[in-house]
Chains A and B, each alone.
Chain A
Amino acid sequence: GENVEQHPSTLSVQEGDSAVIKCTYSDSASNYFPWYKQELGKRPQLIIDIRSNVGEKKDQRIAVTLNKTAKHFSLHITETQPEDSAVYFCAASVTGGGNKLTFGTGTQLKVEL
């Protein structure tokens, strides 16, 4: 089955700096890669996703890049703000293959003033 690794497990940045979180996946059939933000005790919220037919996607301060050959994808947050502090999870799935999500282990992001 799919295995998703995520690094780093914790990340501390100064407000205004950029943050990068990286994930690798094992199943070459995976073609959908969402990123979620989860605050303590809350549901995961989809912040951005990318499909395997594109290499990069951007939405305001958030961007995701995908390298299918290397089987890795990354989340980039620019101009970080304190409200960006949360746990971020990457995930991978196969469209039509049951659509099961395999999650990474999570990154605790702390944006310090």
Chain B
Amino acid sequence: GAVVSQHPSRVICKSGTSVKIECRSLDFQATTMFWYRQFPKKSLMLMATSNEGSKATYEQGVEKDKFLINHASLTLSTLTVTSAHPEDSSFYICSAISSLAGGNEQYFGPGTRLTVT
């Protein structure tokens, strides 16, 4: 149980275009999902916290107009990188907390490798 999927796993896009990444909890409901960015050989940096039915909470330094997050249901959160530039190339990982577990274990998705050319 507690499986989180992400789609796509890899995406290459041209500079200036937008890219949408989906994060789904497959066998549980997640009231809270998190989006992280990980540069090569670096740690995971939290970008934002996504709560179902409400606006995402962004970490300091993360542009909310550039990284649009929508948490439309208890099993789906999306991250849209708008007007992508080469410096946005990174590994984007989502995680989810089960609404039933009562704990704080985060279940991670497999990640999405974004390359902006």
Contacts and interface: CB of A to CB of B under 8 A. Distances in A.
Interface of A: 32, 34, 41-46, 49, 89, 93, 95-96, 98-106
Mostly helix, strand, loop or mixed at chain A's interface? loop
A104 B111 CA distance: 19
Contacts, number: 48
A42 B111 contact: yes
A34 B46 CA distance: 16
Given A100-B49, A101-B34, A103-B43, A95 B104 contact: yes
A98 B44 contact: no
Contact of A99 (B32, B43, B111): B32
Looking at chain B's contact residues, the main secondary structure is: strand
B108 interface: yes
A43 B34 contact: no
A99 B34 CA distance: 10
Interface of B: 32, 34, 42-46, 49, 57, 91, 93, 95, 97, 103-106, 108-111, 113
B108 A34 contact: no
A106 B43 CA distance: 6
Contacts of A42: 110-111
